[in-house]
Amino acid sequence: MTPQRIAIAETIWKYGHIDIDRLYSVIREKFPTISLATLYKNINSFLEKRFIQEVPIPNHKTKYELILKNHGHFICTECGEVRDIEIDENVLKMSIQDSVPNMDRVSLSVHGVCCGK
C-alpha cells in the first residue's frame, strides 16, 4: 500500500465513476510525477483483486468504480455520464426467463439521454 495507491482508491471512491484520464489529472495534483503506467498497473491490480470494476460506456472511455453494493447504472448516451440506480435484485432476477449457468454478478445498464438534448 503506497500513498499513490491509496490516493487512487480514494479518488475512485470520491468520484464514484471515473475514467483513466480524469483519474490521471486528479492524482497528478497530489503526485505530479505519477505516470499513466503506474495508474494502469494499479487499476489492473485492483480489478484482479475485485476492489473495483469496469463500467464500459459506448463512445467514451471505460470508467471504474469501487465494488460496493450491487446497483444499476444509468448511462447517458450523449455525454457518457453515469448515475447509480438502485435495483431490487430479486425482482431483477425474476425477469430472467432462461436458466443461467453460475450467475456471479448481474449488471443492469439503462441507456438514455440525461440532459435535455
Number of residues that bind a second copy (CB under 8 A): 34
State the cell numbers at 93: 432476477
Closest CA to 52 of 77, 16, 24, 87: 16
**Is residue 67 at the binding interface for a second copy, with CB under 8 A as the rule?**
no
CB of 77 to a second copy, least distance (A): 7
Residue 42, H or E segment: helix 36-48
State the cell numbers at 18: 471515473
**Is residue 86 at the binding interface for a second copy, with CB under 8 A as the rule?**
yes
Give CA–CA dist 35/49, Å, rounded.
21
Residues that bind DNA (CB under 7 A): 2, 4-5, 20, 31, 33-38, 40-44, 61-62
Residues that bind a second copy (CB under 8 A): 54, 56, 58, 72, 74, 77, 85-92, 94-98, 100-114
